Amino acid sequence: MSAQPVNPNLPPDHVTVFIDGVELAAPKGSMIIQAADKAGIPIPRFCYHDKLAIAANCRMCLVDTEVGGRSAPKPSPACATPVMDGLKVFTRNDKALKAQRNVMEFLLINHPLDCPVCDQGGECELQDLSLGYGRSVSRFAERKRVVADEDIGPLVATEMTRCIQCTRCIRFTAEIAGTYELGGMYRGENLQIGTYDGKPLTTELSGNVIDVCPVGALTNKVFQFRARPWELIAKESLGYHDAMGSNLFLHVRRGEVLRTVPRDNEAVNECWLSDRDRYSHQGLQAADRATVPMRKVDGQWRETSWAEALAAAAAILRDNRGDALGVLAHPATSNEEGGLLALLAAGLESGNLDHRIGNRDFSDAAVAEPFALPLAEAGEAEVVVLVGSNLRHELPLLHARLRQAQVKRNARIHVVNPVDFDFTFAVAGKAIVPPSRFAEALGDAALRDAARGAGRAVVIVGAIAENHPQAAAIRAAARDFCTATGAALCRIPQGANAVGLARAGVLPTGRDVAGMFAEPRGAYLLHGIEPGLDFADTAAALKALNAARVVALSHFACESTRAVADVILPIGALPEIDATLVNLDGIEQSAQAGGKLPGQAREGWRVLRALGGELGLAGFEFSDLAGARALLGGGRKVGVKAGRAGETGDAGLELALVPAIYRTDAVVRRAAALQAHPLNVDARIVLNPADAAAIGIADGQVAKVRGASGTAALPVVVDARVAAGAAWIEGGHGATAPLGAGRVEVVKA
């Protein structure tokens, strides 16, 4: 072989290879299968996945190679054979095809012939490849092996007799999820894939093992035996339970969402999906779903027509127009619905409009803003400072990106948190302090020096900080840290469309949400909110709402909505409507209607248009969604006034309020499989051992927790991971909702 390159015009880091006679330029160090994929030349494979480490254990990708006119003595695995200059690869000659067909025969020796009852049927890689590379008649006459199934939780179903030991699931849990929960047991013919200890998968990304499994060994337990792939219609949609806006497909049959799968987008969610986005569609079929318009007459609810319900709602709004009206939207509300809410509030001359329903400190007039560093680049940072966030639960896929940044690029991650949360990356430095000391921790000289010396540094501020009563001081400290170190500031938007709603002008020119409850209004319009669980200060919210007239555009006719509302107008959730949302990168993304609207429910924009027409307001003459979008245009610019600061008090333990991973919104709270997941724990209060000893309470006992807004009886967990002086509780639970924020007094019940 000549030392001269085959093609001297190539860049120095590329070589020339020939695959099935096609001349290609491939990066040095890349594998044959990667070059072939880039050129669109198919090579069969099972164990190879471009997001996972190379295992080279299925051997299905065997190809014939030739260098310098000399053929390799045996076939080479395309996934593990690096390219070299002048390499000739044959994927379809007799030698390659014979090797591939022999591998297929071995793979099918123990595989059960249960395609008619296998959920993977119709989208099975083994099924597809066996058609082209398998024999029509098996030569194997011995008994097939059987592997006992293992219950690995409520989300993933197992049929391990079908497993071909590709190890994709093992590599996913080790490399991407970082939990190392699956592995190979025994050897040779007895090799089995399992969890070792027989416990359920605890990773928040467990559903991805279904996607990477090339056979029917791991399938979707919620979707099990519901439908065949060819019965389903795929609709492009978005995740709406966090601000990442993961791209996904809704798989729909006859108007019912049966399954959710990831849609590739390297800039957002790559090819992965969090379990929260994958399984939340279960909540759409909850028993308390709002399906018909309802009015409260003499204290009793009765179903009514749309005409009557709209007339009643319009009368309440008309009678309380101006400053007497408050308009509140859930931060996952679409751009179209948010823009029309702003138009409606302006038409009724009310400046009391807000979507920041989880915030407690409005003294700096802060609103959601896009990340200063795009999501993909944040995953490549050299130094990351994480402030006030259980990121693994708050943004599971950003957490996975940071893990990859550390594994592949040795990123150094520092945390400032009230609890030493379980992350799947190593922490270079940590300050575990009560939230009121976050600002002080960000002033630490050593931490600043670590960020200042990095080529790319980023500060990520999460929900614990953003929703704290002293959030303004924490945000100011984060900005000061970034100014001093050159780091990029990335504040996690508190809601799937918080950035979009800020752009659409769903912000107060009068009272913010805290002001609307501190000085109650005569009437409120609620959009997509579950009043008993979604507000930061539940006690103040319910007190104000109970004393007012309330029109609720709601997905659910839940107990708390029925308690405060006078009219319930049923609206569609995101999987059921055409809509746009803006993610944390500031990118506007579109979702298509997938599921059928339940009963008489209507799209939120359509209900708002009808309300605006009933009220005779200008601008509501459009007849379709395109007309609404044209009307709203670039949104409504609002100068937000500074509001009131949060109150923390000065006695007792400081609350570290953390969003519960599967209690974030009304739909997730009704997804039965997610509620059965090990990460979903009941309401509790977690104390530092020193604080528990000072109170005289032990692990497992019940404590009476008294806050400024109310009291709660909660079981106690004693855990040294909690900062001394802090008490860790999770939001989204009815039991913890009365506590609000600030400080609490904890006594033995």
pLDDT digits (tens, 9 = 90+) for 719-744: 999 999 999 999 999 999 888 778 89
Residue 212 CA, chain-centre distance (Å), reads: 19
pLDDT score at 739: 87
Is 428 within 8 Å of 448 (Cβ atoms)? no
pLDDT score at 1: 44
Least confident of 75-84, 138-147, 435-444, 679-688: 138-147
Region 393-400: what's the mean pLDDT?
96
DSSP for 646-686 reads P---SSSEEEEEEE-TT-SSHHHHT-HHHHTSTT---S-EE
* Domain 294-362+498-632 falls under CATH 3.40.50.410: no
pLDDT score at 94: 95
Which of the two residues, 574 and 4, has the higher pLDDT score? 574
Confidence of residue 709 (pLDDT cuts 50, 70, 90): confident
Confidence of residue 135 (pLDDT cuts 50, 70, 90): confident
Domain range 653-748, its CATH number among 2.40.40.20, 1.20.1260.10, 3.40.50.150, 2.60.130.10? 2.40.40.20
pLDDT digits (tens, 9 = 90+) for 90-105: 999 999 999 999 999 9
pLDDT score at 3: 59
The CATH number of the structural domain formed by 14-108 is 3.10.20.740
pLDDT digits (tens, 9 = 90+) for 206-265: 999 999 999 999 999 999 999 999 999 999 999 999 999 999 999 999 999 999 999 999
Q: In sequence order, what are the residues at sequence separation of 6 or more whose Cβ sits closer than 8 angstroms to the Cβ of residue 622?
A: 609, 628, 630, 631
Prediction pTM value: 0.94
Nearest CA among 5, 557, 630, 595 for reference residue 302: 557
Fill in the amino acid letter for 431. A
d(CA 276, CA 239): 9
Residue 2 has pLDDT above 60, yes or no: no
> What 3-state class would DSSP assign to 17?
strand
d(CA 55, CA 91): 20
pLDDT score at 394: 96
DSSP H or E stretch at residue 489? strand 488-491
> What 3-state class would DSSP assign to 230?
helix
Fill in the amino acid letter for 194. G
Pull the structure tokens for residue 390: 């259980």
Average pLDDT, the chain: 93
Nearest CA among 585, 671, 576, 592 for reference residue 278: 671
> What 3-state class would DSSP assign to 274?
coil
Region 452-457: what's the mean pLDDT?
87
d(CA 378, CA 296): 50
Confidence of residue 197 (pLDDT cuts 50, 70, 90): confident
Q: Which CATH superfamily is domain 375-491 in?
A: Dimethylsulfoxide Reductase, domain 2 (3.40.228.10)
How many residues can be counted in the chain? 749
Q: Which residue has the tokens 């900062």?
A: 723
pLDDT digits (tens, 9 = 90+) for 485-516: 999 999 999 999 999 999 999 999 999 999 99
Residue 384 CA, chain-centre distance (Å), reads: 20
pLDDT score at 678: 94
d(CA 38, CA 21): 15
Pull the structure tokens for residue 84: 């070299």
d(CA 414, CA 188): 43
SS3 content of the chain, % helix, strand, coil (to 5): 30, 20, 50
pLDDT score at 101: 95
Share of the chain above pLDDT 90, in %: 86
Region 346-356: what's the mean pLDDT?
95
d(CA 542, CA 546): 6
Measure CA of the first residue to CA of the last residue in the chain; give whole Å: 83
List the domain boundaries for the chain. Answer: 14-108, 150-165+179-285, 294-362+498-632, 375-491, 653-748
Q: Which residue has the tokens 């989204």?
A: 732
Q: In sequence order, what are the residues at sequence separation of 6 or more whose Cβ sits closer than 8 angstroms to the Cβ of residue 297?
A: none
pLDDT score at 645: 77
